[in-house]
Amino acid sequence: MIQPFRTQIGGLVERWNAIRFTFDGRALIGFKGDTLASALLANGIFLVGRSVKYHRPRGILAAGSEEPNALVRIVRGHGRDTPNLRATQIEIYEGLAAVSQNNFPSLAFDLGAIARLGEKFLLAGFYYKTFMPSLVAWKKLFEPAIRHAAGLGRAPIGEDPDQYANRYAHCDVLIIGAGPAGLAAARAAAATGVRVILCDEQAQMGGSLLADSDTDIEGRPARDWVASLLRDLYRHENIILLPRTTAFGYYADNFVALAERRTDHQSASSYPRERLWQVRAKEVVLATGAIERPLVFPNNDRPGIMLADAARVYLNRYAVRPGTTAIVLAAHDSGYRAALDLHAAGIPIALIADPRETTYNPWVQRAQKAGIRVAAGTEPVNTFGHLRVHTLQTRHGASGTIETHHADLILMAGGWTPTVHLFSQSRGRLRFDEQLGAHVPDISVQRERSAGACRGLFDLNATLEDGHRAGAEAATTSGAASWSHATIPTTIIPIMTGTAALPITGRHAFVDFQNDVTISDIQLALREGFRSVEHVKRYTATGMATDQGKLSNVNTLAVMAQATNRAVADLGLTSFRPPYTPVTFGTLAGLSRGALFDPIRTTPLHTQEAAEGAMFENIGAWKRARYFPKPGEDLHTAVIRECRTVRETVGLFDASTLGKIDVSGPDAALFLDRLYATPLRNLSPGKSRYSIMLTEAGFVMDDGIVARLSETNFHVTTTTGGAARVLAHMEDYLQTEWPWMQVWLTSITEQFAVIALQGPRARDVLQPFLNAIDLASLPHMGVRDFRLCGIPVRLFRVSFTGEIGFEINIPADDGPIVWAQLREAVAGQGGCAYGMETMHVLRAEKGFFIVGQETDGTVIPDDLGFGALGHAKLDFVGKRSLALPHMRAPGRLRLVGLLTEDGTTKLEEGAQITAEARPPPGTKSLGHVTSSYTSAALGRPIALALLANGRTRIGETLNIPMPTGSVVVHVVSPVFIDPEGTRAYG
Amino acid sequence: MRFNFWNLAKQSLTGHTGWPEQWRDPEPKSAYDVVIIGAGGHGLATAYYLAKEHGIRNVAVMEKGWLGGGNTGRNTTIIRSNYLWEESEAIYEHAMVLWETLSQELNYNVMYSPRGVMMLAHNEQDVRIFKRHVHANRLAGIDNEWLSAEQAKDFCPPLNISPNARYPILGAALQRRGGVARHDAVAWGYARAADRMGVDIIQNCAVTGIHRDHNGVVTGVETTRGEIKTSRLGIAAAGHTSVIMAMAGLHMPLESFPLQALVSEPIKPVLPCVVMSNTTHAYISQSDKGELVIGAGTDQYNSYSQTGSLHITTRTLDAICELFPITRRLRMLRNWGGIVDVTPDRSPIIGLTPAEGLFVNCGWGTGGFKATPGSGHVFAATIAHNQPHPIAAPFSLHRFRTGRLIDEAAAAAVSH
Ligand SMILES: Cc1cc2nc3c(=O)[nH]c(=O)nc-3n(C[C@H](O)[C@H](O)[C@H](O)COP(=O)(O)OP(=O)(O)OC[C@H]3O[C@@H](n4cnc5c(N)ncnc54)[C@H](O)[C@@H]3O)c2cc1C
């Protein structure tokens, strides 16, 4: 197969390395080193996509990440299909399959193009003005139609099988962009020995120099200079070179995010597809270059109309002739350079139309010497050609003469826009440079400097020197021992200038190609009072397409300035938001996927519980045993059995997830006394107390056991979910309110495995392990350090079931041994292991509340029956709030028990309580069910509830209205068994 | 000229040259009956209802930037009313009813799209909480229904309901009337309608001071374009409320945080509804343009910087990719932040202040877009009558003195 538009010589592609690929099913050949765009051009394919709104045929406009038109879907098999990729950035590989988007039935014949019939109607913001006869019509008719028409590619089907990686890095100097400025900076910085990272979004480093055909640097051709410099850099140990890596976000404190594409250029790979680098750099050098601007004139969007420099890139770097005959629209001298390069490669240049009234210009002379006709003061006014441009009309400004020219390649050189995105993201201030017609960096905020074209330097010599200086300076300020000894690279090339070409009004003069925004749209927005750039952007959607306005921003401003007779500088600028180019979700997510999405926390006893047949549930990041079914048991039957066993004999429970905090220091007692509503100052060593912590607003925040181990040392337990929150709350008070207190906080949650032994036989299980010590001497709420099976353990005598209970804190690693021993002893007493569900039922039978279930951030201790809590204390967090009128107002929701009248219906947690059986909508709720279980002990369902004036309602009959009918309930005390609480003391 | 199909068609024939300005760009007058600070959705809606319902048309809305450029133009536009407490249900449902006819009311297509808001339950605690909401809402007459995981998937096919997921979906609460709207259109629609009734919207004019007489009564504001007299000043400045209230010597129980959002590149429709997963910190819908609109969490630290931290964004995308595996290969197109004003109980503050003539509407935090019409409506009534509208009354600043907080966050842990 031949590639009709491939040149015979030159370029950086590997001609010996032919690669097969397909576009819309058509088999084609390119070379290694091609992008999809260059390979398509080499094959004479110019029509690549359709625009979003009018489905206009579109070709390849640019050669880099600014491409708005040539978006394709890459097909690699379901989960690997990727929409909306730029042909200009896709490196071809053997077997690559690309498909065009947003057309039906085919790219060349697209029915969607009928939208053009309505284009007079479909101007900016039309949808705000119509489609609103009613909500139903919008929802059922218009919105679905709009949604169907919108959107570009299709999302992949199925899950992406590729892996993504993540890396954090520190460096002294991060250099972004490996064009002449970046390379010179890298050499200068690396020479000082500091740690350097150099990244570039392209596959090859060298930037604009890769498209250079005739410049020498330091006495050799530019590309050779690049190659040898890179070889030198690779040899440095202190530099990381990252090609295919886009710096996409610049955050506070010189934190820069990079996305590295590692495998998309290969047919298959076992490596992660992309990698997110999160780099903290002491100094940053921005060498991000500049982007050429299109010209705005009628029908400037046809396939075959291209940026002048892009054509140069295709020719010089990719060895592709982007057309057979070209016309160059040169509002900037760089257009002449493109024309001369094309001319030298044998592509006839029909005309250089220069809208400027050029007087003396060396470029004009060079062009004329080459025999190219130059028409000064001439601007484009229209083009023709359906799937490919073939004709251009120009007008001579002074005489008004219209001329018609024929060419299948029209190049636009509208001047250059420095790439200031990252500078702006770093919060640096921009300034509008009249001469360049673009914004350039003005005042830096972070430790960063711009070099080369991204700060408006377009002379290669100056750029190299600027890069060198920036690299050397950055290295020195980042701490390099000496000034860089690298030499400053030099070259000779004529200087280029340009003026901002004025937009030329008329139909179909596109400003934003992908979103089909024309001059008329912007003018309409201005007419309708949208004066600010941000408004114009939002009303017309200019700059909001996937190229993020890289080509349209400045032209939008130019159109606005022209229409309102204002200076561009006065218009302001829309903000540059991350990312610089779109970043794959998977890259940002990295390894956080599947089981690693949130690392699973397991207790030290997890394996033992799993062996016991536990069914686990997620509690925050923890896996906790919910119940231990025997063969044939479901949740319900297992829990009934477990409950009965604990009440009758003894049960074993893994309580390791409870938060544990070691609080120590001379002021520990005072500190805890102030943080908890429960008095703790007078707690004697060896004793523990059930304690409640309040928020500043007086609401119950957490609860747990606070044990005093010695005068200055406490062991505090928190709820499982509250562990981190409580520690942070403690730290907050310690550091901001009472910084003078001598207290140290240490999380010891993971230091201990905690086994709860509960039930009338708990003591019988434990006693044999404790040799000489008599357990009876450990009173309820006592705490003691013991040895158990030779292992030092901390024993609490506490009960959350109403039975005699112990909680044994064992060094985490020894947990399994102790569990095994106790498990056997428990079995010997006829007991069993029990899970979360049983724990919940047992505590509910006793009326013990659970933070987050009976409480919801609006509940005060009095609501839960702890009315006297803290009364005697001088002060504690939340005390003041408890005195507020609402806390004492009648009608507060109080904790009560509920029994269904029928004795069999189990209420639904969250169900509401009303007086009426069939409350009309809008009825005020009296409260709600907080917990509901089947009680084995009572042989019936029980429930806890928060009920308005609940304590005075005990004995009343109320209703729980459900969709299926009302359930009648009796209000009872929340304590269903052993109200005197004697069992736990037995 | 009214917005409708016929005018649009007529204008199409004449190059759309006949459309007038949607709002004027007036010079500030020296005095107004009411001055509103902040031309976000809330401020503009307030001005609109002042003019329309209370006949107070000599109103100025002061905006330091461009109208709608604050959180109104930055949010993920989730609209729902299935809140837990009766006070909240009342105000959000009030707004919801207004949403349903807002396009017609304003003669501006705000694209309110009641496509359903589904809140996912990932653990037993979520199940309990969402069921409580469902029951409470049913009692209040507000639609909210419980779906099993399979029903959730039927409603939103790309959802991953695998029981092997790290946090499997156990069910979901669905409010079918909930949905999204086009944020800019809401600001613009209110602006145009208010302007039409004589309200002056003054952009690029920051308020820099509040004047009060020796009794503390408001007499006017100082702005970057001179002094403006007024006896009634309403503040609707979201994240910057504390700064403005401090100009009147008042300290607000507010903290400001950056909250982030992002969009993907546009794709053909895949996501039919709004999905919220609080447990995994992710909110998602698909705009009519085809972008996936994704909400992240707030930074942990107070800030006025509109750039949030990267790790907050990546955390949210972790969750999105887990919930919707087909999104992993899609790409983030834009990421931004807004400054949200958060109260201790995460409910808004609407009403009078200790300074006579000074009214405040703030504290909507991460979830005030949905309230825009309702909030403006009751705030206008409050300003007009110098007394809280009944729906606004529970949200007074005074509640922090009585302790009668309305804590949605603690009860639901849902923030939008
Ligand atoms: C990322 C993000 C996602 C969100 N998602 C949702 C969601 O899904 N659903 C939802 O319901 N809510 C959401 N919210 C919250 C919602 O955006 C806000 O609650 C709501 O838009 C606030 O509207 P507003 O009019 O009060 O404030 P804004 O729109 O912020 O308007 C306040 C205005 O006051 C102006 N101003 C400030 N100071 C001065 C001064 N001194 N002088 C003059 N003008 C001043 C500002 O410039 C601004 O325009 C989200 C917010 C963010 C940031």
Q: How high is the pLDDT of residue B131? A: 95
> Do you know the residue count of chain A?
986
Q: Which residues of chain B from 327 to 386 reach within 8 Å of chain A, CB to CB? A: 327-336, 344-345
What are the C-alpha distances in Å from A771 to residues A760, A788, A790?
20, 9, 11
Residues A284-336: tens digit of each pLDDT: 999 999 999 999 999 999 999 999 999 999 999 999 999 999 999 999 999 99
Q: CA of A720, closest CA in chain B: separation in Å?
A: 13
Q: CA of B206, closest CA in chain A: separation in Å?
A: 16
A116 CB within 8 Å of a chain B CB: no
d(CA A62, CA A291): 9
Q: How high is the pLDDT of residue A506? A: 84
CATH, domain A501-585, list 3.90.79.10, 3.90.1170.50, 3.80.10.10, 1.10.10.1100: 1.10.10.1100
Residue B414 confidence (pLDDT) above 50: no
Q: CA of A433, closest CA in chain B: separation in Å?
A: 24
Q: Do residues B59 and B47 touch, judged by C-beta distance below 8 A?
A: yes
Beta-carbon separation of B319 and A619 below 8 A? no
Beta-carbon separation of B86 and A152 below 8 A? no
Distance B40 CA to ligand 1 centre (A): 6
Q: Please, what is the end-to-end C-alpha distance for chain B in angstroms?
A: 36
Measuring CA to CA, which residue among A542, A474, A111 is closest to residue A296?
A542
3-state class (DSSP) for residue B76: coil
Contacts of A588 in chain B (CB under 8 A): 313-314, 317-318, 332
Structure tokens at B89: 């249900």
* Ligand 1 neighbour B237 (Cβ under 6 A): yes
Nearest CA to ligand 1 atom 35: B38
Average pLDDT, chain A: 94
CB pairs under 8 A between A and B: 310
d(CA A192, CA A185): 11
Beta-carbon separation of B104 and A132 below 8 A? yes
Beta-carbon separation of A139 and B23 below 8 A? no
Nearest CA to ligand 1 atom 2: B75
Residue B415 confidence (pLDDT) above 70: no
Residue B375 confidence (pLDDT) above 60: yes
pLDDT range class, residue B64, cuts 50, 70, 90: very high
Structure tokens at B219: 């007499």
Collect all residues with Cβ–Cβ distance below 8 Å to B220 and sequence separation of at least 6: B31, B35, B210, B211, B227, B228, B229, B230
With the most atoms of ligand 1 within 8 angstroms of its CB, the residue from B366, B370, B377, B408 to mutate is B366
* Nearest residue of chain B to residue A540 (CA atoms): B184
Residue B416 confidence (pLDDT) above 50: no
Distance A915 CA to ligand 1 centre (A): 41
- pTM summary value: 0.95
Distance B239 CA to ligand 1 centre (A): 7
Average pLDDT, chain B: 95
Element (H, E) at A429: strand A429-433
Contacts of A80 in chain B (CB under 8 A): 329
Does residue A486 or residue B359 have the better pLDDT? B359
Q: Which residues of chain A from 939 to 978 reach within 8 Å of chain B, CB to CB? A: 961, 963
pLDDT range class, residue A104, cuts 50, 70, 90: confident
Distance B76 CA to ligand 1 centre (A): 11
pLDDT range class, residue A174, cuts 50, 70, 90: very high
Comparing CB atoms, the residue among B267, B314, B336 nearest residue A83 is B267
User: At which residue do the structure tokens 């309409």 appear?
Assistant: A524
Element (H, E) at A340: helix A334-344
Residues A741-800: tens digit of each pLDDT: 999 999 999 999 999 999 999 999 999 998 777 888 888 899 999 888 889 999 999 999
Distance B409 CA to ligand 1 centre (A): 19
Which ipTM did the prediction report? Answer: 0.96
Q: Which of A168-182, A645-659, A787-801, B110-124 has the lowest mean pLDDT?
A: A787-801
Contacts of B4 in chain A (CB under 8 A): 129-130
A881 CB within 8 Å of a chain B CB: yes
* Ligand 1 neighbour B40 (Cβ under 6 A): yes
A164-290+418-477 adopts what CATH topology?
FAD/NAD(P)-binding domain (3.50.50)
Beta-carbon separation of A928 and B132 below 8 A? yes
DSSP state of A735: I
Contacts of B86 in chain A (CB under 8 A): 924-925
3-state class (DSSP) for residue A730: helix
Collect all residues with Cβ–Cβ distance below 8 Å to A114 and sequence separation of at least 6: none
Residues B326-336: tens digit of each pLDDT: 999 999 999 99
Distance B74 CA to ligand 1 centre (A): 8
d(CA B275, CA B294): 10
So what's the architecture of A294-414 in CATH?
3-Layer(bba) Sandwich (3.50)
Nearest-5° Cα angle at B6, B1 to B8 = 65
Q: How high is the pLDDT of residue A366? A: 92
Residues A631-654: tens digit of each pLDDT: 999 999 999 999 999 999 999 999
Domains of chain B: 25-79+84-106+183-253+345-412 (3.50.50.60), 117-178+255-342 (3.30.9.10)
Residue B211 confidence (pLDDT) above 60: yes
Residue B300 confidence (pLDDT) above 90: no
A908 CB within 8 Å of a chain B CB: yes
What are the C-alpha distances in Å from A114 to residues A109, A420, A519, B11, B288?
11, 39, 21, 20, 20
Q: Do residues A311 and A322 touch, judged by C-beta distance below 8 A?
A: yes
Collect all residues with Cβ–Cβ distance below 8 Å to A579 and sequence separation of at least 6: A246, A248, A249, A257, A259, B332, B333, B334, B335
User: At which residue do the structure tokens 């690309």 appear?
Assistant: A98
Ligand 1 atom with the smallest distance to the CA of B73 is 29
Q: What percent of chain A has pLDDT over 70?
A: 98
Collect all residues with Cβ–Cβ distance below 8 Å to B160 and sequence separation of at least 6: B169, B322, B323, B324, B325
Sheet with strand B226-229: strands edge to edge: B207-212, B218-223, B226-229
Question: Identical fold at A164-290+418-477 and A294-414?
Answer: yes
Collect all residues with Cβ–Cβ distance below 8 Å to B150 and sequence separation of at least 6: B161
Q: Do residues B51 and B219 touch, judged by C-beta distance below 8 A?
A: no
Q: How high is the pLDDT of residue A491? A: 66
Contacts of A578 in chain B (CB under 8 A): 307, 334-335
Q: Do residues A908 and B131 touch, judged by C-beta distance below 8 A?
A: yes
So what's the architecture of A14-118 in CATH?
Roll (3.10)
Residues A797-829: tens digit of each pLDDT: 999 999 999 999 999 999 999 999 999 999 999
3-state class (DSSP) for residue B412: helix
Domain residue spans in chain A?
A: 14-118, 164-290+418-477, 294-414, 501-585, 890-980
Residues A204-247: tens digit of each pLDDT: 999 999 999 888 898 899 999 999 999 999 999 999 999 999 99
- Tally of CB atoms within 10 A around A359: 7
DSSP state of A386: S
Collect all residues with Cβ–Cβ distance below 8 Å to A290 and sequence separation of at least 6: A416, A417, A418, A419, A453, A454, A456, A458
